[in-house]
Structure 1
Amino acid sequence: MKNPVKTLLSVTLGLSLLTGCTANTESEELGVINTQPTDDVAVTNPPETLDLVVSILPQEYFVRKIAGEKAEVTVLVQPGSEPETYEPLPQQLTAISQSQAYIALGVSLERGWLSKIESLNPDLVIINSGEGVPLIPMVEHHHHHDHDHDHDHGHSHGEDGLDPHIWLSPQLVKIQAQNIYQGLVELDPENQAEYQQNLDNFLAEIDQLDTEIRDNLSGIENRKFIVFHPAWGYFAQEYDLEQIPIEVGGVEPSAAQLGQLVNRAQAEDIRVIFAQYQFNSRTAETIAQEIGGEVVFIDPIAPNWSENLLKVSETFANTLK
């Protein structure tokens, strides 16, 4: 595997990430979110604490698991931001450029951010946590219901046509965790042993999560689900589910495509339409009304990554029959 530190990200524009994080009052004035560990006991950062930047909240969870109390993490994408239109504020870029390292997902959205950040701070260390992660194509609107596992055979969308939601696969997160660990060790070799122990603990947590998710999903017979935004392609691939998206790349379906989705849902006895709070749920509600079903919200960018994926698997188990 290539060294993820200072790896140039050969990615293209066109795909979107998701949002996250609660800003404190002082940070809101700068347009920057400085997150703190969510444990009950407050943690005072020592002077040697690493000053790191990540794109989204799930990454903050990964970094905290491995770095422990030795990092202060700034989350770039703020709550309420539309993924397709998000751009860092000038004040954010200035503040972030003063950090030691930017831990990137290594997907297309970040290319524009990185060029701006690096122009302000050429010495900023870039840790590509997505190095070595196999990407899958995004799927376009579905027009047929005679194909099995469309998440494996979907058509490309956008400039690079690749799905950026790599944090929603536990197995792919293990790769990202290894890359984060390597980056932390290069930044702070004196604490390598602690980072290694934390990494081992996190990998064990991921294995346990994977086991619980598989147990939750083992009894599902109809493994197809309709979702407004196609964030769950990697999750679907990993757990033998089929994601049927309503919108792709910010483009909602035409009236004809909407009718086809309704017909497909009725033909395959799909009664739940999944949505997320970051997007308008009107179209999802329209489909649910037509099929006599309901809209259920699931969040791909909740702050507690492990707890959230387990909750999503429980939701699938309770709603997919």
Structure 2
Amino acid sequence: MLLAVLLATAAGCITADRAAPDADTITVAVTIPPQAEFAEAVGGDRVRVVVMVPPGASPHTYEPTPGQLAEVSRAALYAKVGSGIDFERAWMEEISGLNPGMQIVDCSEGVELIAGGEGEGADPHIWTSPRNAEVMVGNICAGLCSVDPEYCDYYRQNAAAYAENLNALDREIGAAVAGMQNRQILVYHPAWAYFARDYNLTQIAIEEEGKEPTPQGIQHLIQEAKEKKITVIFAEPEFSTRSAEAIADEVGGEVVLVSPLERDYIENMQRVAAAFARSGS
């Protein structure tokens, strides 16, 4: 019932919700904020980007507003993450039905996926690897070339320039974490597997299969943290920090907030790398 109401409301809001974009601007919809930086880097002044899961919201639970559905109904291109993120699994069919003429590009095409927890399929957090981000940017570029072929050279030039920035970021992160003595990171939400794979780290997650740990699970993590001399627990502002704080209290450590969902992708990944590096020094 809620879905029907949202879609009906969105259809009625297409002209009233917000003024139509300029005729020379292509509306590109993306799922999460980091993709907005990717799309804007490639599309430049040719694109207007709509983010479906706003900053501070979790892509595992978020439901779009009628206004967002109205905006995506005007989009020429939707760049989905494509790796099994919950928002897309729940909403992509309805979103594509709302705008049948919209082209959908899968940003995960060409990315080597990591298996998630037991029964979870692939780990969806592919963008936490700058190397994967470069693949995603290439897919967005291909999508823009398809819907706006006249400016394909422009998009390719922009994509190449941004790829150079991502390559520099990759080298910078590698250098930042190279000296870590303890290469294990204890995190609340298991969002950093691709980052860990690229930079030879081990991710230990508090949350399993989207569920809070049991009291026995917390005790096990406390013991593991003590044995491995882990004193920093990384949590995300999009999730509760209660379990992370409980473990930190027991091991005499601290909780540090890092988010994989910031819109300023390169700057955020630099901050994350610095936080991980400090925790393992």
Q: TM-score, normalised by structure 2?
A: 0.89
Aligned match for 1:306, one of 263, 266, 271: 266
Q: Which has the higher helix share?
A: 2
Segment of structure 1 superposing worse, 255-264 or 45-54: 45-54
Aligned match for 2:255, one of 284, 295, 314: 295
Residues 93 and 116, structure 1, Cα contact 8 Å, conserved in 2: no
Q: What's the counterpart of residue 108 of structure 2?
A: 130
Residues 1:225 and 2:185 are matched in the alignment: yes
Residues 1:180 and 2:132 are matched in the alignment: no
> For 1:73 and 1:57, how far apart are their aligned partners in 2?
10
TM-aligned CA deviation for residue 247 of structure 1: 0.5
Q: Per the alignment, in what secondary structure is the counterpart of residue 61 of structure 2?
A: coil
Unaligned runs of at least 5 residues, structure 2: 1-15
Residues 84 and 249, structure 1, Cα contact 8 Å, conserved in 2: no
Change (3 A) 1:81 1:308: closer
Q: Per the alignment, in what secondary structure is the counterpart of residue 295 of structure 1?
A: strand
Trace 1:1-321 onto structure 2 (pairs within 5 A): 47-108=23-84, 109=86, 110-139=88-117, 156-158=118-120, 161-321=121-281
* Aligned alpha-carbon RMSD (Å): 1.8
TM-aligned CA deviation for residue 95 of structure 1: 2.9
4+ runs deviating over 6 angstroms: none
Change (3 A) 1:255 1:111: closer
Q: What's the counterpart of residue 39 of structure 1?
A: none
Residues 104 and 127, structure 1, Cα contact 8 Å, conserved in 2: yes
> For 1:98 and 1:54, how far apart are their aligned partners in 2?
13
> For 1:195 and 1:80, how far apart are their aligned partners in 2?
29
> For 1:196 and 1:177, how far apart are their aligned partners in 2?
10
Q: Per the alignment, in what secondary structure is the counterpart of residue 210 of structure 1?
A: helix
Q: Per the alignment, in what secondary structure is the counterpart of residue 318 of structure 1?
A: helix
> For 1:84 and 1:101, how far apart are their aligned partners in 2?
22
Q: Per the alignment, in what secondary structure is the counterpart of residue 135 of structure 2?
A: helix
> For 1:83 and 1:195, how far apart are their aligned partners in 2?
28
Higher relative contact order (CA 8 A, sep 6+): 1
**Equivalenced residues, count:** 263
> For 1:98 and 1:214, how far apart are their aligned partners in 2?
41
Task: Give per-residue Cα distances to partners, 1:206-264, cap 9 Å, x unaligned.
Answer: 11111111110111121001100011010001100000000023201111111110001
Q: What's the counterpart of residue 9 of structure 1?
A: none
AA aligned opposite 2:159: L
AA aligned opposite 2:99: N
> For 2:189 and 2:89, how far apart are their aligned partners in 1?
22
Residues 61 and 303, structure 1, Cα contact 8 Å, conserved in 2: yes
Q: TM-score, normalised by structure 1?
A: 0.78
